Amino acid sequence: MHIVDGALSNDVVIAGGILAVGGIALGLKKMDMEKIPAAGIMAATFFVASLIHVPIGPSSVHLIMNGLAGLILGWTAFPALFVGLLLQALFFGYGGVTVLGVNTVAIALPAVLMHYICRTGIRHSNKKVAMFWGALAGGGSIAVTAVLVTIALAITGESFIPAAKLVILAHTPVMAIEGFLCACAVSLIHRVKPELFDSFIPVTAVRHA
């Protein structure tokens, strides 16, 4: 869901920009020097993941996977997903310039939210429980993204509201698929490399957990 330039009113664009700058600054502050390569590579991974097309009915959708990004990256999801959106705008012409802030907030804020809601759940020793929280993160982040986009459009103008409602409706299958994929990915990580979820947590915090 990339909003384009010119669709939103100025106050929404400015508010989005300020929020995005705040989130990115916080994300960068929480990322220590050692983590820069890992964060950059994760940003690249999620960029590649967004190119994957998943069949749905007669058509296909491309993945967003911001929930999974949030689970792994925490606040670092803000700069990482911002870089992804910036590169998409520059290379593919997706989205735009002034709406970059709004788009970043719409994608990264749900990721951070899901990180805090699900971080204990996905570390549960039972794989089924971990998968449930993974599904919640994957589906929930798409839902929150859709809601944020709707709010941005609704503040801009009344005439967008019916369309925005339909967009949320159209995103329910995407939500289900992303939730299911995220659950599967969490189950694989659970089995293969459970410490992946701790890669972006400061050392002291891991000891407490």
Partner 1 sequence: MSPASSNMHMGAGGSSWMLRLDPRARIVASFIFACVVVSLTGFISLSIAVLCGVFLMLSAKLPAGETVKKVITMDGFIIFLLCMLPFTTPGEVWFTLFGFEATWEGFYKACEITLKANAVVLTLLALVGTIDAIVLGHALNRLRVPENLVHLMLFSVRYIDVLKQEYFRLRVAMKARCFQPGNNLHTYRSIGYLLGMLLVRSIERSERILEAMKCRGFQGKFYLLGEFHFQKRDRIFCLASFLFLLGLFILDISYG
Our measurement of the distance from residue 135's CA atom to the centroid of its chain's CA atoms, rounded to an integer in Å, reads 14
If binding is defined by CB under 8 A, does position 147 make contact with partner 1?
no
Question: How far apart are CB 30 and partner 1 at their closest, in Å?
Answer: 11
Question: How far apart are CB 116 and partner 1 at their closest, in Å?
Answer: 20
Window of 64-72, 111-119, 122-130, 201-209 that interacts with partner 1 by CB under 8 A = 64-72
Question: How far apart are CB 120 and partner 1 at their closest, in Å?
Answer: 20
Asked whether the beta carbons of 125 and 116 are under 8 A apart, the reply is no
Binding residue count for partner 1, defined by CB under 8 A = 80
- Which of 19, 20, 64, 72 touches partner 1 by CB under 8 A? 72
- Which of 113, 154, 199, 201 touches partner 1 by CB under 8 A? 199
The tokens 């990482």 sit on which residue?
80
Using alpha carbons, list the distances in angstroms from residue 183 to 13, 19, 89. 34, 29, 29
Q: Which helix (H) or strand (E) holds 99?
A: none
Q: Which of residues 148-167 bind partner 1 (CB under 8 A)?
A: 153, 159-164, 166-167
Window of 95-103, 106-114, 121-129, 201-209 that interacts with partner 1 by CB under 8 A = 95-103
If binding is defined by CB under 8 A, does position 96 make contact with partner 1?
yes
Sequence-distant (6+) residues with CB within 8 A of 140 are: 67, 110, 113, 114, 117, 179
- Which of 12, 19, 20, 24 touches partner 1 by CB under 8 A? 24
If binding is defined by CB under 8 A, does position 136 make contact with partner 1?
no
What letters, b where the CB count within 10 A reaches 16 and e where it falls short, cover 120-136? ebbeeeeeeebbbbbbb
User: Beta strand pairing status for 59-62 and 53-56?
Assistant: antiparallel
- Which of 19, 20, 80, 152 touches partner 1 by CB under 8 A? 80
